[in-house]
């Protein structure tokens, strides 16, 4: 529903309707969520900003921060289009991921259930029949393999919960540094944050604003956001006479070339255009990277399941074959 709401709102704003007129049209249309429309109409009537209504309607903090910045540079329609495009990309990738991972995941759960069935039903029968020796290594595999797998899964879940809890205890800047240092997703996080800052700074630099003005505006947005926290630290550094490009190098959640583009753009005088182009290129790279990972998930899970199935067959039949071979001799 949020995507449909944004699509309609963007269309109305582009056709010359004001924000209040657009909301009135959508209310008369009666095809959109009443809760979302109520958040905007009642919020604006009470004097709340568009960004505050945006957050109350269920949009994320990152999306709300973009709207707050749009109130500053004035490109509200462009910002809403970027938010809508990101939402559509994420929805598409979630759909692809669920489609790719659902069948292998079900197969993995089936194999895990099969291992437990072997442990509690097949293994006692084999031991009672005397067909296999109790000291054979495959007995240990059948007896403890399922519990080892479940333990491994629980360890991974505990690590994820511990990482999430640790990140929540950190300041916004430290949390960004922590996420940027994680394997696999760390580089993706760096690209996303760099693309985001390049986009927002590019819009304001293109309007002729200076770095200190931009940082001042960014400090005024949600104080709990990474944007405001970074702006405060950069403003303090600039007050001490440090260069913006040099300071940006010290933040691990931003790609190294970002500070280089800032430095070169300040010299050439086309920093806004360069940052906007750089943001577009990074967004394209992020999408390609995620789609590439999704394509690898299914074959890797299938390979893992195939190895498990082979291990099951070996554990079941190898001791029997060895026993039969011993009898034949």
- Residue 34 scores a pLDDT above 80: no
The CATH 1.20.81 portion of the chain extends over 175-291
pLDDT at 55: 80
- Residue 326 scores a pLDDT above 80: no
d(CA 68, CA 223): 12
Most confident of 13-22, 120-129, 169-178: 169-178
pLDDT band at residue 328 under the 50/70/90 scheme: very low
Enumerate long-range contacts of 216-222, CB under 8 Å, 24 or more apart: 217/69, 217/72, 218/69, 220/68, 220/72, 221/51, 221/65, 221/68, 221/69, 222/61, 222/64, 222/65, 222/68
Q: Which of 147, 145, 110, 153 is nearest to 315 (CA)?
A: 145
pTM of the model: 0.70
pLDDT at 327: 47
pLDDT at 158: 93
- Residue 222 scores a pLDDT above 70: yes
Q: What is the mean pLDDT of the chain?
A: 80
More confident residue, 60 or 323: 60
Return the CATH fold of 175-291.
Receptor-associated Protein (1.20.81)
pLDDT at 20: 83
Q: Which of 100, 84, 96 is nearest to 7 (CA)?
A: 84
């Amino acid at each position: 529903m949020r995507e449909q709401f944004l699509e309609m709102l963007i269309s109305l704003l582009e056709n010359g309707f004001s924000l209040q007129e657009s909301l009135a049209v959508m209310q008369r249309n009666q095809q959109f969520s009443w809760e979302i429309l109520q958040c905007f109409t009642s919020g604006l009537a009470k004097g709340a900003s568009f960004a505050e209504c945006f957050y109350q309607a269920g949009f994320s903090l990152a999306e709300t921060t973009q709207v707050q910045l749009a109130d500053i540079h004035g490109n509200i329609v462009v910002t809403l289009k970027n938010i809508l495009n990101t939402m559509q990309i994420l929805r598409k990738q979630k759909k692809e991921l669920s489609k790719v991972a659902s069948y292998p995941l079900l197969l993995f759960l089936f194999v895990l259930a099969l291992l437990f069935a072997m442990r509690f039903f097949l293994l006692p029968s084999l031991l009672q029949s005397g067909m296999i020796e109790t000291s054979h290594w495959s007995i240990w595999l059948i007896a403890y393999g399922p519990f080892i797998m479940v333990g491994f899964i629980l360890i991974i879940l505990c690590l994820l919960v511990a990482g999430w809890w640790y990140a929540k205890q950190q300041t916004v800047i430290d949390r960004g540094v922590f996420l940027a240092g994680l394997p696999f997703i760390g580089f993706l996080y760096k690209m996303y944050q760099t693309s985001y800052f390049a986009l927002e700074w590019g819009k304001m630099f293109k309007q002729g604003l200076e770095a200190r003005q931009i940082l001042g505006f960014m400090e005024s947005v949600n104080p709990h956001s990474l944007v405001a926290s970074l702006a405060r630290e950069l403003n303090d550094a600039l007050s001490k006479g440090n260069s913006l490009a040099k300071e940006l190098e010290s933040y691990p959640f931003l790609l190294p070339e970002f500070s280089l583009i800032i430095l070169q753009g300040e010299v050439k005088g086309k920093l806004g255009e360069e940052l906007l182009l750089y943001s577009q290129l990074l967004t394209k790279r992020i999408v390609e990277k995620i789609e590439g990972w999704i394509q690898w998930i299914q074959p890797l899970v299938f390979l893992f399941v195939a190895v498990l199935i082979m291990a099951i067959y070996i554990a079941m039949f190898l001791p029997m074959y060895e026993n039969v071979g011993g009898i034949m001799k």
